[in-house]
Structure 1
Amino acid sequence: MIGTAKMGHTYPGATVPFGSVQLSPDTDTIPYAIDGHYNPDVYKYCAGYQYDDNTIVGFSHTHFSGTGHSDLGDFLIMPTTGDLKLNPGTALNPESGYRSRFSHDKETAEAGYYSVMLDDYNIKAEMTATTRVGMHQYSFPEGENAHIVFDLMHGIYNYDDKNVWTFVRVENDTLVTGYRQTNGWARTRRVYFAMSFSKPIKDYGRARYDRQPYGGFWGKFDQAKNFPEIAGEKIRMYFNFDLAPQEKLMVKMAISPVSSEGALNNMKEETPNWDFENVKKEARANWNRELNKVQLSSEDEDELTNFYTAMYHAFLGPTEYMDTDGKYMGLDMNVHQADGFTNYTSFSLWDTYRALHPLFNILQPKRNADMAQSMMAHYDQSVHTMLPVWSHYANENWCMIGYHSASVLADAIVKGNADFDQEHALEAMVNTARTRYYDGLGYYMDMGYVPEDKNGASVSKTLEYAYDDWAIAQAAKKLGKTEIYEEFIKRAENYKNVYDSKTGFMRPKLSDGTFKKDFDELNTHGQGFIEGNSWNYSLYVPHEPAKMIEMMGGKEQFSQHLDSLFTMELPDKYFENTEDISREGIIGNYVHGNEPSHHVAYLYNWTNKPWKSQDKIRMILDMKYQTGADGLSGNDDFGQMSAWYIFSSLGFYPVAPGSIEYAIGSPAVKNASIHLENGNTFSVIAENQSKKNVYVDKVELNGKELTRPFISHEAIINGGELKFYMTNKPNTILFIN
């Protein structure tokens, strides 16, 4: 349940690691706009569920985890009894629709299993999942008036014209197939389904919403009841059953990106029978295999809870996007065959390139290599010849900035986890970075920066492009491509072009070469930044921190600057109101709830005071990750927040993906064993570990004391032991040469 309250945007439902199906309760249906104006409440429901709500609308089969934007929520199912209702009603008046009240004391959320008592109907709802199939089990108190409401109008990020078309075909008295096509965040998204019932359907019908299907030649049929083929923009259906008292009705919902036939084949492959308990057992075993990749010993129950919850969230996505036979829908809207790799979707790359994909290079190298191939398939199918920016379900959403798929590919290549065509990957990175019409990139290539009067969020874009260029240069160097290396290592220094030495901050520059006037380094609006202010982004040169520190006045001055970031107080004027939810992710002016700051606490390692990283990291771990439903201090962002927690708890972090080095921090664990896919084990031990002993006295790698605050990727993959000796006082000479 961690992250289901406030702005964590996680869902509590049933899924398996990287599963295509995320079968989870939705607690409200919030319109995107009210009277033509954006509805701010829609942001709360990116995952469909809010812990503080007390009604459930139903259970849909697709959800994002921890994102700051929403879509999906496909194929909502709701069991009901009594009078049939075919609209969801409202939270204030649940009786007006098919929704039901519920309470958390009759709700269970486990890995691969979810259950809740629907109080208005006294129905116990249980669900589990395989990769492509959601399995429901409903215990009806009375056999009479047992209904299943099937709502194809429901969706997350819900506005009036999201549904383009839906189609339902009742194949026989236990099988229903069809598809749903939407124009939401993804403009051309089609999901096919096959739904099977464990009991024969008594009768069925639909609500009358669309005029068109009843007019013209179709008007000769009564399509409202027991009509087996239904199409329209707005379809809500019901299925009635004859059941004995306390009899269980099971439903299997398989999805496919390709066809209803594909969905049906997925169902046959993954759930050939009606053994709910066995599917639940297999889902649990699947999770245990993944979570045991790191074995943690601790006497602190909260620490264990937070660590394994972080691993759980980190392994929710990206999600598999293909049928069991390897077929999937491509970006070109054609059916493709994944040959030799598993195809994935939902790449929230502005978030996940920082720590999640580097974590996968340690814990999930095979999957990460497949994700890289999925990105390259996207590139091959793109008319723009670009790698994905933020993509899902065969669509590019162009959300956020940068071309950070280049970072993911480069990191895999440099770290030797590149079981794919590396030359083709480099070509894709280079062509993406030379796409002049993409988001100010032409200005960046010509002028060395993005001018604010030509393209907004210009400083953030300049800095992130420069980092991505450095990552491309590292891949080119590894592959021996000297000309490409020289081109992009030069571009990687473009961060210098937006640094104002007079103010000491990165600052928006205009096309005439002058800095923008009326500059406020604390303001996040209209100052050339996105999801951060100049204080945060002025520290975003992860690829050249030593040069950045020299540029900003040297080690001592920079160290004091970092101190101020964590201790200053932001005035109320920089928040919308005194209860602004964004405050929860902030320590001083350090914004942990937004990703551009995630490497910042580790930057002390490039000063003469590396010990100052250590107490900051432990402070963030303790303050920003809790065990309650509101335990996350911001969106989990498809696992990035969780990946930060995992790395930092283990005592090291990838400041610059594309580098083979990790920066040393302060481990929160006492003992952890990382079981690698190559059969090796890398252990982390923290002697004298405690809540007070947050400082590192010394560090040994395989018995040899470290003299620099870094370890290599090779050292981890080869297996061995990283031993920290912890103390309650800083060792001010550690790592100082």
Structure 2
Amino acid sequence: MVTRRRFLQGMAAATAVGQLGSLSALAHGVQQAMEPASAGPGAAANRVLGYVDVFVGSGGHGHTYPGATRPFGMVQLSPDTNNAQWDGCSGYHQGDGSIMGFSHTHLSGTGASDMLDVLVMPAMGPVLLQPGDRDFDGVNYVSRFDAKKAGGEKPEKGYKTGVKGYRSHYTGEQAHPGYYRVKLTKHDILAELTATLRAGIHRYTFDKDGDAHLLVDFAHGYQDDPREPTRLSDVEMRLVGNDTLVGGRRVWQWASGRVIYFAMKLSRAPTSVTLYSDDKALPAGSTEVKGDNLKAALHFDHASKAPLLVKVGISGVDIDGAMRNLDGEIPGWDFDGVRAAAEAEWVAELSKIRMESSSDKVNRLFYSSLYHTMLAPTVFSDIDGRYRGMDKAVHTLPAGRHNYSTYSLWDTYRAAHPLYTLYQSDRVPDIVDGLVRLAVESPSGAPVWPLQGIETVCMIGYHSAVVVAEAQAKGFKGIDYAKGWPVFRRRAMQDDYFGLGYYRQLGYIPSDKEGEAVSKTLEYAYDDWAVASMADALGHAEEAAALRKRSQNYANVFDKTTQFSRPRDAAGQWIEPFDPIAIGHSSRWRDFTESNAWQATFLNQHDVYNYMALFGGEDAFEKKLDGLFNADPTLPDNAPPDIAGMVGQYAFGNEPGHHMPYLYAYSGSHYKAQARVRMLLDTMYLPEPDGLPGNEDCGQMSAWYIMSAMGLYSVDPVSTNYVFGSPIVDRAQIDVGGGRTLTIETKNNGEGRPYIQSVTWNGQPWTKSWISHAELVAGGTLSFTMGETPNKDFGKARADRPPSYGAPAPAA
């Protein structure tokens, strides 16, 4: 175990040498931060790097990748085992038996895919140009990886299977934040990967004699159909000197039309290089090639026992940008120095929340989850500040700012962005001002799911409005809210965007005119609430009032007779027949987005008390909420796989349900929220590859765990309030910025003790079931006393219930 002082001493040694300083000093600093020491209780919290298991979510339907990256890094250097089908969304799945190679961009936990740029695969013998099937037929360039032993030698000290954070689900494959290694058994090659913010470095050790080569497959990428190639255009590669390969391409996949460039340097010059177009070799001596299907083989006669190093920079701007990123971030060939710097940065970022728990499972899940919250959004600007905007033009940022990409906003506005406002407060201005910038630059307006300068228009609503409004309401500076206002106003008031015309005209979207109409109506209502908050803050009172009133349009798809949100037609009639577990009212239509009427009925986040009245009062609302969790979990045959993690008809494995257990706080039965949240924390997550209840979705699934483990959840992020749940940590200290610390602690906690008995804030009794962001970030100590039986009086008084719609709970 380590003390806090010992940890800081180790980090000081680690960071003093800079990003690429002395390996011995930097590694020693990281080691100090991780090594046990004679210390008091709770010092295990500082072994943050050791608790992270990067393989969590890499099996099942988690869709995560295990490779090397930096916090919010532009490069994600990771193995590809699969580049097609739903469980290949990240390029990796734990159940696959072979590796295609190592590419430099990946998505974490998404349900749609793209990326997998610049695949590099080391090999020996003749050049094979086709990857082959992931089940490995022994003929193509894929390779099995060692499932029995780590390269024939004993694993490094501290990296062996079974040690926290360095566990591998194949013994020959090992990884932790900032570093990945695997033994490719086809040719007995040890591959190691690490990364900086915008570049990656590979180290390949060839353990057999003979001719070797690197295959660069620039046609590789995600494929919607495994029988069809990745859709590409404007592809080029060229040799520069005798040790550098550069290239660029336009990709027409999910982020249709995105462009990416790379620059690759080798630690020793190849003896020859063969360029290929459509798998045909160009004449010897060719140094440039254009086409849609390009590859290169870099040959090395008689593989040396000295490792071969490969470093690659990427850019969304041009080849020169990729080269500057590479030379600026990895000027030399110190693989171990880059790796140690990556580890030091991860230790520093993970240590922004210093959590203590007597449970090894909680320690592992907490820090693995915290790690996953820092894999998106990702930096997408060059070292010189240039970036490619949503208008496809190249822009330059002011010094010290970053442009970001990979905003999975339909998911992450719910918990990930509220979490960032607590422990990544210094990064929030860049992340949120980036959304404003994207909104202004984008021809399509308010961002929905932007990826590498392209709007994918994935999912419903326009929840960038929520993220911007939340930051504005929480008082974050360095964000040009006024610049973004016209764009968000236009979307709310004018754009004819996916049913918004009907929404404005009728107060709801008719299900005989627009797909997923019920869910769209409900989510537009919440976006109205967010844009109304923006309008208020900027002095646009008339628009704020109109949007606030319109945010109650949720009532127009609520049927008081059945007590469900359900589809209605353009004439205003409820569509029959109605089945609350159905996804659509016919084979032609889906009325809900990855949900059904049971789940959509509880989407309301911002106006809970007025919504309760539609049910006939809080008792009827609570009874219906009980029914959600206790209903028959059967789903229709056409339910999408995203509807997962079922508890009755509650689908925890999909993000729209994440706030629903906390709704009990509004009915005065907070103890039910406590019990339900603790059950979900205990049963829905495991520190294993198949350890997530659904897609990770760029950190949202993990952010729910982090927030709930600390006893907090933002039901309505725009309100800036957090509802209490059932904390499972013993203690957590959060660096909330400005030198202030928020401490959360529990007493008498443990298995079978999910219920809050009492709460104190800075030593004073706290009877409310919620607390504001402003109070938490001022610093202080929030203390929960827990027990095995519910204290039904806690949070029951109306004065103690969370506010909603900008007002306290109404009198009885």
TM-score range, shorter chain: over 0.9
Report the equivalent of 1:107. 173
Report the equivalent of 2:89. 46
Tell me whether 279-288 or 334-343 shows the greater mean CA deviation. 334-343
Report the equivalent of 1:605. 665
In structure 1, C-alpha distance between the alignment counterparts of 2:766 and 2:307, rounded to whole Å: 61
Report the equivalent of 2:364. 305
Instruction: Spell out, residue by residue over 1:312-363, the C-alpha distance to the aligned partner (whole angstroms, 9 max, x if none).
Output: 1001111000100000111121111122531001111111111111111111
Which residue identity lines up with residue 392 of structure 1 in the other structure?
Answer: L
Write out aligned runs for 1:209-228 (5 A).
Answer: 209=278, 223-228=282-287
Report the equivalent of 2:221. 155
In 2 relative to 1, CA 435–392 (structure 1 residues): closer, same or farther, beyond 3 Å?
farther
Which residue identity lines up with residue 177 of structure 2 in the other structure?
Answer: A
Which residue identity lines up with residue 705 of structure 2 in the other structure?
Answer: Y
Which residue identity lines up with residue 544 of structure 1 in the other structure?
Answer: D
In 2 relative to 1, CA 720–411 (structure 1 residues): closer, same or farther, beyond 3 Å?
same
Write out aligned runs for 1:663-674 (5 A).
Answer: 663-674=723-734
Report the equivalent of 1:215. none
Mapped pair 1:362 → 2:415: no
Report the equivalent of 2:65. 11
Secondary structure of the 1:724 match is: strand
Aligned length: 712
Mapped pair 1:416 → 2:475: yes
> 1:85 Cα deviation (Å)?
1.2
- Residues 142 and 243, structure 1, Cα contact 8 Å, conserved in 2: no
Mapped pair 1:73 → 2:116: yes
Secondary structure of the 1:268 match is: helix
Which residue identity lines up with residue 316 of structure 1 in the other structure?
Answer: L
Tell me whether 235-244 or 368-377 shows the greater mean CA deviation. 235-244
Which residue identity lines up with residue 483 of structure 2 in the other structure?
Answer: H
In structure 2, C-alpha distance between the alignment counterparts of 1:651 and 1:629, rounded to whole Å: 25
Instruction: Spell out, residue by residue over 1:394-428, the C-alpha distance to the aligned partner (whole angstroms, 9 max, x if none).
Output: 11111110010000000000011132222223333
Give RMSD over aligned pairs: 1.6
In structure 2, C-alpha distance between the alignment counterparts of 1:327 and 1:157, rounded to whole Å: 29
Secondary structure of the 1:148 match is: strand
Mapped pair 1:201 → 2:270: yes
Report the equivalent of 1:217. none
In structure 2, C-alpha distance between the alignment counterparts of 1:438 and 1:366, rounded to whole Å: 34
- Residues 186 and 392, structure 1, Cα contact 8 Å, conserved in 2: yes
Mapped pair 1:570 → 2:633: yes
Report the equivalent of 1:631. 691
Secondary structure of the 2:68 match is: coil
- Residues 731 and 745, structure 2, Cα contact 8 Å, conserved in 1: yes
Report the equivalent of 1:455. 514
Mapped pair 1:429 → 2:488: yes
Report the equivalent of 2:158. none
Instruction: Spell out, residue by residue over 1:365-401, the C-alpha distance to the aligned partner (whole angstroms, 9 max, x if none).
Output: 23222122211222222233x1211111111111110
Write out aligned runs for 1:524-673 (5 A).
Answer: 524-525=583-584, 526=589, 528-571=591-634, 574-575=636-637, 584-673=644-733
In structure 2, C-alpha distance between the alignment counterparts of 1:127 and 1:77, rounded to whole Å: 11
> 1:680 Cα deviation (Å)?
0.3
> 1:208 Cα deviation (Å)?
4.7
- Residues 111 and 695, structure 2, Cα contact 8 Å, conserved in 1: yes
Aligned match of 2:188 in 113, 117, 122?
A: 122
Structure 2 gaps, min length 5:
1-54, 148-169, 798-812
Which residue identity lines up with residue 698 of structure 2 in the other structure?
Answer: F
In structure 2, C-alpha distance between the alignment counterparts of 1:724 and 1:199, rounded to whole Å: 60
Aligned match of 1:468 in 527, 543, 555?
A: 527
Percent pairwise identity: 39
> 1:286 Cα deviation (Å)?
0.8
In structure 2, C-alpha distance between the alignment counterparts of 1:96 and 1:244, rounded to whole Å: 21
In 2 relative to 1, CA 422–533 (structure 1 residues): closer, same or farther, beyond 3 Å?
same
> 1:245 Cα deviation (Å)?
4.2
Runs of 4 or more consecutive aligned structure 1 residues displaced over 6 Å after TM superposition? none
Aligned match of 1:229 in 258, 272, 288?
A: 288
In 2 relative to 1, CA 235–569 (structure 1 residues): closer, same or farther, beyond 3 Å?
same
Secondary structure of the 2:510 match is: coil
In structure 1, C-alpha distance between the alignment counterparts of 2:106 and 2:790, rounded to whole Å: 44
Report the equivalent of 1:329. 388
Which residue identity lines up with residue 696 of structure 1 in the other structure?
Answer: I
In structure 1, C-alpha distance between the alignment counterparts of 2:782 and 2:302, rounded to whole Å: 60
Instruction: Spell out, residue by residue over 1:186-234, the C-alpha distance to the aligned partner (whole angstroms, 9 max, x if none).
Output: 11111010000001111111345278xxxxxxxxxx8243310011100
Report the equivalent of 2:45. none
Instruction: Spell out, residue by residue over 1:705-736, the C-alpha distance to the aligned partner (whole angstroms, 9 max, x if none).
Output: 22221100011110001000000000011122
- Residues 644 and 651, structure 2, Cα contact 8 Å, conserved in 1: no
Tell me whether 656-665 or 336-345 shows the greater mean CA deviation. 336-345
TM-score normalized with structure 1 length: 0.94
- Residues 61 and 87, structure 2, Cα contact 8 Å, conserved in 1: yes
> 1:651 Cα deviation (Å)?
0.2
In structure 1, C-alpha distance between the alignment counterparts of 2:441 and 2:537, rounded to whole Å: 26
Mapped pair 1:679 → 2:760: no
In structure 2, C-alpha distance between the alignment counterparts of 1:411 and 1:552, rounded to whole Å: 29
Which residue identity lines up with residue 190 of structure 1 in the other structure?
Answer: V
Write out aligned runs for 1:686-725 (5 A).
Answer: 686-725=746-785
> 1:527 Cα deviation (Å)?
5.3
Report the equivalent of 2:553. 494
Report the equivalent of 2:342. 283
In 2 relative to 1, CA 29–346 (structure 1 residues): closer, same or farther, beyond 3 Å?
closer
Structure 1 gaps, min length 5:
31-41, 212-221
Report the equivalent of 1:484. 543
Secondary structure of the 2:426 match is: helix
